[in-house]
């Protein structure tokens, strides 16, 4: 479970911005809160981010994904001597400054705090703290300036600890190298950041996770139930293996040849089992019509694509970050998705949902606590600022939707006083 995460000098973020999922003292919806073991505070299962277009809402979720990808790929995919993969804030002198990331989370009853700082050439700092039984243990720290220094504590067991230090390149994370070399004590940290964090971005990998899970008849049947319940007109679901043709096979072969050796097998496995869904719809009378995925409405595609990540997250107790939850989804479907994560009976493992949206229907006061609502706004330098609704101390029964649309909390586009141009006709 995520406790909090932060970033500095990343995409539209310049100064450090932090999102916390620690519940405040508000009495709203107490039954939805997640009890964090060995702590005196509860966690929130949902965080919703609002803001004008291009205000940085998506970049907040990208912070988590960047941390996940850096931990997974820096040792095996960032080429030696080729620097780091980062996207600093591009205005002013920020490109020459380091970028920093930190995430605090709990897994297996233990709380961890992990972070790193890097520039375009190398990792500058890296740290990991663990809190078994609520007491802080510094497992390792790393510094590259003025010289490279690793420091490991006695509490970090493992014979490979020092050996992996020698294998860690200047442009790779120690945690990434440790996972590639099966450091047993650090695998829970790696597994959370890589396996337990899931993401659904509207323009990427539409339906891939849901399609993969359809190989299991149990999931296929479950997804079909959801599609029918959503009143999308879907009667049946079939997964068809895709034939990429001879030209497609040549492209796959070229891509495979340029991939690192460790990635070639998984890429070949994915392309050899590539599949696409086909949906059967009610026709006239008792007839039916089968439509391919690309012929479905945007709403059906968006809903189907979300089903796999949502079910997978709920069943494992992980974290799901969703970009543009409102994209093509009927407001009632978005409402139901948030209700599921907020319902401890339907979400017994404490899975968490972090999403951005423009859907103000979620602000009716009965679905989200006031500390579950966040805003993004850009300042005059183009930098994103992230802040919670609770900063404004709204009353419990305040009309949040109206207040937001009226600009009471900021994070809305400034349209000026000029009316939109009118069509004057001929």
CATH number at residue 396: 3.40.50
pLDDT score of 208 = 86
Same domain, 187 and 216: no
Segments in 298-355 forming alpha helices (H): 298-316, 331-342
Contact call for residues 383 and 15 (beta carbons, < 8 A): yes
- Of 364, 290, 358, the C-alpha closest to 324 is 358
Counting the structural domains of the chain, the total is: 2
Same domain, 120 and 222: no
Q: Which domain holds residue 39?
A: 1-202+323-413
How far apart CA 118 and CA 171 sit, in angstroms, is: 8
pLDDT score of 272 = 47
- Distances, alpha carbon 301 to alpha carbons 236, 256, 277, 328, in Å: 15, 29, 10, 9
Beta strands in 122-233 (DSSP E): 123-131, 137-143, 149-152, 197-200
- Of 124, 114, 119, the C-alpha closest to 96 is 119
pLDDT score of 262 = 46
* 110 domain-assigned: yes
Same domain, 387 and 334: yes
How far apart CA 72 and CA 78 sit, in angstroms, is: 10
Same domain, 269 and 212: yes
* Domain-terminating residue out of 289, 318, 347: 318
Same domain, 153 and 98: yes
* 334 domain-assigned: yes
* Domain-terminating residue out of 318, 353, 382: 318
- Of 316, 241, 318, 296, the C-alpha closest to 2 is 318
* 421 domain-assigned: no
First to last CA, the chain: 61
* 239 domain-assigned: yes
* 424 domain-assigned: no
Same domain, 259 and 370: no
pLDDT score of 241 = 79
Same domain, 88 and 192: yes
pLDDT score of 269 = 46
Same domain, 342 and 296: no
* Domain-terminating residue out of 298, 318, 338: 318
Same domain, 86 and 184: yes
What is the pLDDT tens value at each position of the chain, 426 positions in all? 999 999 999 999 999 999 999 999 999 999 999 999 878 899 999 999 999 999 999 999 999 999 999 999 999 999 999 999 999 999 999 999 999 999 999 999 999 999 999 999 999 999 999 999 889 999 999 998 788 999 999 999 777 899 999 999 999 999 999 999 999 999 999 999 999 999 998 656 678 889 999 999 999 999 999 999 888 889 999 998 766 566 656 665 666 566 555 454 445 544 544 678 999 998 787 888 999 888 988 888 889 999 999 999 999 999 999 999 988 688 888 999 999 999 999 999 999 999 999 999 999 888 999 999 999 999 999 999 999 999 999 998 899 999 999 999 998 886 665 544 554 444
């Amino acid at each position: 479970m995520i406790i909090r995460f932060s970033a500095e000098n990343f995409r539209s973020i310049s100064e450090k911005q932090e999102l916390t999922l620690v519940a405040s003292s508000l009495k709203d919806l107490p039954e939805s809160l997640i009890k964090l073991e060995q702590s005196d505070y509860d966690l929130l299962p949902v965080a919703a981010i609002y803001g004008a277009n291009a205000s940085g809402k998506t970049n907040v979720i990208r912070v988590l994904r960047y941390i996940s990808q850096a931990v997974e790929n820096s040792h095996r995919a960032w080429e030696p001597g080729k620097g780091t993969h980062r996207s600093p804030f591009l205005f002013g002198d920020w490109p020459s400054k380091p970028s920093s990331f930190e995430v605090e989370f709990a897994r297996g009853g233990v709380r961890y705090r992990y972070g790193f700082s890097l520039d375009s050439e190398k990792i500058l700092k890296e740290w990991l703290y663990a809190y078994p039984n609520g007491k802080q243990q510094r497992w390792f720290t790393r510094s590259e300036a003025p010289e490279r220094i690793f420091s490991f504590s006695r509490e970090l067991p493992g014979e490979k600890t020092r050996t992996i230090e020698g294998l860690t390149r200047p442009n790779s994370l120690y945690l990434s190298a440790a996972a590639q070399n099966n450091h047993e004590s650090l695998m829970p940290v790696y597994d959370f950041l890589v396996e337990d964090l899931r993401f659904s971005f509207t323009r990427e990998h539409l339906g891939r996770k849901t399609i993969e899970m359809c190989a299991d008849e149990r999931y296929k049947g479950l997804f079909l139930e959801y599609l029918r319940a959503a009143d999308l007109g879907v009667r049946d679901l079939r997964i068809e293996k895709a034939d990429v043709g001879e030209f497609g096979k040549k492209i796959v072969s070229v891509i495979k040849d340029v991939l690192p050796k460790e990635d070639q097998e998984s890429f070949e496995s994915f392309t050899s089992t590539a599949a696409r869904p086909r949906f059967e719809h009610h026709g006239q009378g008792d007839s039916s019509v089968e439509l391919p995925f690309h012929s479905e409405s945007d709403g059906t595609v968006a809903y189907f694509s979300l089903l796999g990540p949502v079910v997978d997250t709920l069943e494992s107790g992980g974290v799901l970050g969703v970009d543009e939850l409102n994209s093509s989804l009927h407001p009632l479907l978005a409402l139901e998705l948030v209700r599921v994560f907020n319902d401890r009976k339907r979400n017994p493992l404490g899975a968490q949902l972090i999403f951005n949206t423009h859907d103000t229907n979620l602000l009716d006061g009965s679905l989200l606590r006031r500390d579950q609502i966040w805003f993004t706004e850009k300042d005059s330098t183009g930098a994103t600022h992230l802040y919670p609704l609770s900063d404004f101390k709204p009353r419990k029964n305040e009309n949040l939707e109206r207040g937001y649309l009226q600009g009471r909390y900021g994070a809305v586009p400034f349209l000026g006083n000029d009316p939109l141009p009118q069509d004057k006709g001929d």
